[in-house]
Amino acid sequence: MKNFVCFFLLLITFYSFSQEQTIDTIQGKKQNLDEVVVEAIRVKYSSPISHSNISKAELESRNLGQDLPVLLNFLPSIVTTSDAGAGIGYTGIRIRGVSAQSTNITINGIPFNDTESLGTYWVNLPDFTSSVESLQVQRGVGTSTNGSGAFGASINIVTDAVSENPYAEISNSVGSYNTFKNTVKFSTGKINDSFELSGRLSKIDSDGYIDRAYSDLKSYFLQGSYIQGNTFIKALAFGGHEKTYQSWYGVTKDQISENRRQNPYTYENEIDNYKQDHYQFHWNEKINQKWSTNLGLNYTYGRGYFEQYREDDSVETYGDIVSSDIDKNGIELGTTDLIRRRWLDNNFYVVNASAKYESKKLNLTFSSSFSNYSGDHFGEIIWARQFGENSKIRDRYYQGNGKKTDFSIFTKASYSINESMELYGDLQLRNIKYITSGLTSDLVNMILDESFSFFNPKFGFSYTFNPNEMFYFSYSRANREPSRSDYESNPNIKAEQLNDFELGWRYRKDGIKLNLNSYYMLYNEQLVLTGALDDVGTPIRANSGSSYRFGLEADAKIRLSNFFTINSNFTVSTNKNKQILSSFDGNIFDFGKTNISFSPSFIASNSIIYTPKDNLSIRLLSKYVGMQYMGNTDAINSQLESYFVNDFNISYKINPKRIFKSIVISGLVNNVFDVEYISNGYYYTYDDTWSIPGQIKTLDGAGYYPQATRNFLMGLTLKF
């Protein structure tokens, strides 16, 4: 079945090519037809939802190999981090203090979040930024979307718009830590006024800031489009293959003082090796001036493993596959050395369908999404000091499966009462079925048969005082199911709920854009990060009862002159668990009201942009992140210190008269002032016996992910 789907979608990709086209919106502006694909889940300027729009041009000057989350670092309420320290490989993003597991990501309206873990792994799509046309970040619950619920934000991405003219592009970057990026892109341009085919191949290599935390990344992107009259068809095939040396274990404070770049892993092939392929098909039909429809299909195939060397590992973990070592006296030790691989092999199918009605006063959208996921989890032994009598290499010591279906329907409407007042409503029903079987990697029999039915209403209004300023208010409800790892750590874990209240003001006039947004996010059983990790580096979450996030976001873009522009934003917030109960010194202790983990109370960004000429841009980018806790008990040892870092970015464009259409030279100096800072870590507690028999004392420990000191990237892009 999956081979037929791949063949069908690839056939359409090669057959259906296109050009860039626009349509008129009710605001009288031109809109790219590619953006119609995600119109059902995007919001417009007058919507009562806090959001930021990012264009391809805004990403290009800093797109020198780092992952997409790092390029979004200077948007409001965002904190990013990198396991390897330099923004390549495994990277993470938190918005309003909420982890990536609770951030909804879509690509052309298709869910990108992993269905079981709920996380997003950008390392699986290296250099995907080179194929992004635009994206929108919605903070808070946002509008109804496809896939997992948004609990802190949603990011919806549109891939490359079709090009009217043919082009070819070669982009190369080089930088610190033996970083190299090589990208080749092309487009046929408009063929017979209806077809276009474009594509990209990318290769990224980096040793990483952390010792041996290398990344070996490859990716591809192929897109075809067709447009005829009121029909727009777009088909894509894209994916990546990543090999990354593990650095998720972090380092202790003592290790940082010795050498902050050290990596505790020593086995030469302690790597993550994973491939992921995506196939999409989109069909948009404009029926008349008021009605249009959209159909989206997707198939994603992911497979790969994490390889580990295990020294003196218990043979009980592996049944009869491996045999125990024997000491010099002939006594079995119960342990042995071995190399194991933990595999994932999954298939993900999606069908999206939507219809939109537009009139002068009313915008109405009906949308539905259905997905089906099946994922195999298994472990195999590829080497052991001695295999069991009836065992051999690659025998599996555990095997399990997870199946999940997700069906949602939503309808949303915006209605203009008059020239000043607009009402917004959004109702979503979502049903999830999750079934597991077999063993986990800890050899625990995992049998789940869980169903969830969620109703997520959203209401709001906006009021336009004059052509330059508006005011808005919204209320949104969200529900979200636990992940597979949540169930592994606690079989009785509960779904989480959120009531989100947003109040904002926007101003636009004479080169000044101001946004103020206040939010109150009231949670029930929020799944907060405990600070601890499981044995493969996945963050462990737990229900926290009642909790809340209350904050103010301010965002400004001010054009000071023809040469200078300032982009600034800050978020000030308080993020609290109303009551935390936790084991301490052998007893359950009430810690009372505490700070939510990984939720700094102050975040600020600033960009000073100097453009003395149209072809030259110079930027100083600054980021401040306040102190945050890695756990939920306000323990001193769980604190991450505040940090303030600055980047310098320059881009210069040459327009030669021969051979090349343009030559773009880019440079990026990260952490200009060589600050030694840490943006992420983990925190854990454990019980230890006192010197007095029978008494237990709780101890704590922490691990940290040091980020790179001063480093650089330089790029050269040739466009034909």
Task: Name the DSSP class of 708.
Answer: P
Residue 241 pLDDT grade (very low, low, confident, very high; cuts 50, 70, 90): very high
Contacts within 8 Å (CB) and 24+ apart, 52-55 = 52/76, 52/136, 52/137, 52/139, 52/555, 53/134, 53/135, 53/136, 54/134, 54/135, 54/136, 54/137, 55/133, 55/134
Rounded to an integer, the average pLDDT of 4-26 is: 38
Name the phi and psi angles at 683, rounded to 5: -140, 140
Opening angle at CA 388, ends 383 and 394, nearest 5: 40
Opening angle at CA 478, ends 472 and 483, nearest 5: 145
Domain ranges in the chain? 2-719
Q: Please report which helix (H) or strand (E) contains residue 419, including its range.
A: none
Residue 663 CA, distance from chain mean position: 31
Name the phi and psi angles at 160, rounded to 5: -45, 135
Rounded to an integer, the average pLDDT of 549-570 is: 96
Query: 3-state SS string over 577-596?
Result: EEEEEEEECCEEEEEEEEEC
Burial class (CB in 10 A: 0-12, 13-18, 19+), 602: middle
Q: Is the pLDDT of residue 696 over 80?
A: no
Q: Which CATH class is domain 2-719?
A: mainly beta
Task: Name the DSSP class of 167.
Answer: E
Rounded to an integer, the average pLDDT of 460-467 is: 94
From 172, 236, 166, select the one nearest 202 (Cα to Cα).
Answer: 172
Residue 20 pLDDT grade (very low, low, confident, very high; cuts 50, 70, 90): very low
Q: Per residue in 33-52, pLDDT tens?
A: 567 778 888 999 999 999 99
Least confident of 4-18, 424-438, 531-545: 4-18
pLDDT at residue 199, as a whole number: 97
DSSP string computed for 512-540: EEEEEEEEEEEEES-EEEEEEE-TTSPEE
Q: Is the pLDDT of residue 5 over 90?
A: no
Q: Per residue in 133-144, pLDDT tens?
A: 999 999 999 999
CB atoms within 10 A of CB 8: 15
Residue 676 CA, distance from chain mean position: 25
pLDDT at residue 304, as a whole number: 97
164: three-class secondary structure by DSSP:
coil
Strand order in the sheet with 51-55: 51-55, 132-139, 153-159, 103-107, 110-111
pLDDT at residue 39, as a whole number: 83
Q: Report in angstroms the alpha-carbon separations of 645 from 74, 348, 510, 622, 629.
A: 11, 40, 31, 6, 19
Distance separating alpha carbons of residues 22 and 33, to the nearest angstrom: 5
Distance separating alpha carbons of residues 270 and 411, to the nearest angstrom: 48
pLDDT at residue 538, as a whole number: 82
pLDDT at residue 341, as a whole number: 96
More confident residue, 538 or 548: 548
- The bridge status of strand 103-107 relative to strand 153-159 is parallel
pLDDT at residue 2, as a whole number: 46
Residue 442 pLDDT grade (very low, low, confident, very high; cuts 50, 70, 90): confident
Buried b (16+ CB within 10 A) or exposed e, 355-383: bbebeeeebbbbbbbbbbbbbebbbbbee
Q: Per residue in 21-34, pLDDT tens?
A: 444 332 334 446 56
pLDDT at residue 99, as a whole number: 87
Q: Per residue in 393-439, pLDDT tens?
A: 999 999 999 999 999 999 999 999 999 999 999 999 999 999 999 99
Q: Which two tokens stand for residue 268?
A: 């030469």
Q: Per residue in 262-291, pLDDT tens?
A: 998 999 999 999 999 999 999 999 999 999
Q: Per residue in 316-360, pLDDT tens?
A: 889 889 999 888 888 888 999 999 999 999 999 999 999 999 999
Q: Could you tell me what percent of the chain has a pLDDT over 90?
A: 79
Residue 697 pLDDT grade (very low, low, confident, very high; cuts 50, 70, 90): low
Name the phi and psi angles at 652, rounded to 5: -130, 130
Q: Per residue in 494-522, pLDDT tens?
A: 999 999 999 999 999 999 999 999 999 99
pLDDT at residue 331, as a whole number: 85
Decide if 628 contacts 603 (C-beta within 8 A).
no
What's at 527, amino acid-wise? Answer: L
Q: Which two tokens stand for residue 328?
A: 């010099």
Residue 203 pLDDT grade (very low, low, confident, very high; cuts 50, 70, 90): very high
pLDDT at residue 478, as a whole number: 95
DSSP string computed for 144-159: --SSSPPSSEEEEEEE
Average pLDDT, the chain: 91
More confident residue, 99 or 196: 196
- The bridge status of strand 469-480 relative to strand 496-509 is antiparallel
What's at 270, amino acid-wise? Answer: E
Q: Is the pLDDT of residue 707 over 80?
A: yes
Q: Is the pLDDT of residue 4 over 60?
A: no
More confident residue, 296 or 100: 296
Q: Per residue in 618-644, pLDDT tens?
A: 999 999 999 999 999 999 999 999 999
